[in-house]
Amino acid sequence: MNPMDAKPSHVAAVGASGDAAPGSPIVDVDGLTRRFGALVAVDHVSLQIHAGETFALIGPNGAGKSTLMKMLTTMLPPTAGRATIAGFDVARDPQAVRAHIGYVPQLLSADGDLSGQENMLLSARLYLIPRGERRKRVAEALAMMGLTEAKDRLVRTYSGGMARRLEIAQSTLHRPAVLFMDEPTVGLDPAGRRAVWRHVAELRAQIGAAVVFSTHYMDEAEEVCDRLALIHEGRIAAMGTPAELRAASGPDATLDDVFNDLTGARIGAGGEA
Amino acid sequence: MSTLALQQSPGSPSGAGAYLTQMLAVAAAEAVKLRNDPVELVSRSVQPILWLVLFGQVMAHVRGLATGGSYIDFLAPGILAQSVLFVAIFYGLSAIWERDLGVLHRYMVSPAPRSALVIGKALASSIRGICQSIVIYLCAALLGVRLSLQPAHMLGVLMLIVLASALFSTFSLIIACIVKTLERFMGVGQFLTMPIFFASNAIYPLAMMPAWLKAISRANPLSYEVDGLRSLMLAGGQSQFGLGVDYSVLLAIIAALVVAATRMYPRLTQ
């Protein structure tokens, strides 16, 4: 039920990581919990994600995916439990964690009143890319995301897919160890979705970051991720590779069936067919 | 396959250099936005011009308002302070707006210290304040206000504008962190602006006020800004409190506000 090392862990050089030994998970979550008053949004979640792995968090709206991601990106302090990213504790050393992660929130985080290039230069400064390298790094990242042509246009004129790609570029300029994306393809047309994932794959090949994303598109999760966790009412209902989870529910089962078997709920709500 | 920590990249700024880079990045983004869309700057400068031209011309005929010189001389620094206040006090609105859009998340997950973000935003507001001041100087000159054009005086005015913009925008940011929604902020913002403006020495001297209002005005940072402006902006201008007091009061209040805002700003994205 918990094939932790389905994929060989290949932690290469985890820069200035805190106390992470080589081979240890790049994301290590133990009993993480967040309460809002009486509501338990995330309830004792434990999971490990290894360097270079692509990991999906799947569940219906309100399952706790976003709250979990907010805690892992240091935006929200946990009520209980512990999480480390690249060896740094999210509660005790948030600033070091932030230096090692990229985050693409569900909302549009690129500034619509700035051009693509201006947005990138802002991120280059916030992430302390050396002055002499900024222009070059920004140009390379824009080219990689297929945005060179559009770099001088204000971002509010971008399509949804272009804006998402820009956000991915601006949140990975510093070559983070983990890229978090909250519902990265929601609202995009199929071509836009494919373009986003193609570019994420290229980026991973280049910088070797682990990618952690939430979605309620089952097909997308199956196609893209190495492992996934099904989240239901703040808890992990199941975790493993897509094939392992399907196998547990019978030969012809889809991930949607798996989720249904485990929770009695459907994921589809809010998702696209 | 390297996940190099950015601190390790050779040539990355560190320490104070890193702090300054991140702080100025926030302010520079604002300057670029103003350059991309300068219409707002123009529309913002209409109101202070109306105050000077309409209010100033009529009130100049009321005897006893001016302390010594002409009323328009007395009024110009007050209107400069007012226009900076009116722009800065709604700065929290843009913080909430950025939160609603998602832009604020991008700042909050960056490794920039929260205080660098707060001060960067305050300086961004100062850039707008400086733009306003240029318009008001031109307008005041046309109306025959006896402006002091000594470089040291103008530099002093510039510093006062930067400080006052930073002060009121950071105050506004704190309000935004408390009320958290656009609708509630609009209500509170309107409610705050008028007392700050009228319970100050901006458009009438402290000497004319009843004792209770005078006490409030003496506790109002706007009064210290206006006092400094009256002494530096006008030829032969005089400070009532002393310039050292004016700057010290503004700086002390800013320091306290930045400390508070640094703690509260991250709550906006929770």
Distance from CA of A106 to the nearest CA of B (A): 8
Sequence spans of domains, chain B: 14-269
Residues 168-227 of A with CB under 8 A from B: 170-171, 174-177, 207-209
DSSP state, A156? Answer: G
Domains of chain A, CATH where assigned: 7-109+180-264 (3.40.50.300), 110-170 (no CATH)
Residues of A numbered 240-259 whose beta carbons fall under 8 angstroms of chain B's beta carbons: which are they?
Answer: none
Residue B120: closest C-alpha in chain A: A126
d(CA A114, CA B37): 10
Chain-centroid distance, C-alpha B204: 20
Provide the residue-wise pLDDT of chain A in tens; the chain has 273 residues: 343 333 333 333 344 445 555 678 999 999 999 999 999 999 999 999 999 999 999 988 889 999 999 999 999 999 999 999 999 999 999 999 999 999 999 898 999 999 999 999 999 999 999 999 999 999 999 999 999 999 999 999 999 999 999 999 999 999 999 999 999 998 888 888 999 999 999 999 898 899 999 998 888 888 899 999 999 999 999 999 998 888 877 777 777 788 777 777 666 544 333
B35 touches chain A (CB under 8 A): no
* Angular region, A37: left φ>0, alpha ψ -120 to 50, beta rest: left
Question: Is there a contact between A130 and B11 (Cβ–Cβ < 8 Å)?
Answer: yes
ipTM score: 0.88
> How would DSSP label each residue in chain B?
-EE--GGGSTT---HHHHHHHHHHHHHHHHHHHHHH-THHHHHHTHHHHHIIIIIHHHHTTSTTSSSSS-HHHHHHHHHHHHHHHHHHTTHHHHHHHHHHHTHHHHHHTSSS-HHHHHHHHHHHHHHHHHHHHHHHHHHHHHTT--B---HHHHHHHHHHHHHHHHHHHHHHHHHHHHH-SHHHHHHHHHHHHHHHHHSSSSSS-GGGS-HHHHHHHHT-HHHHHHHHHHHHHBTT---SS-HHHHHHHHHHHHHHHHHHHHHHGGGGG-
Instruction: State the CB neighbour count (10 A cutoff) for residue A53.
Output: 24
pTM summary value? 0.88
Q: Is the Cβ pair A10, B1 closer than 8 Å?
A: yes
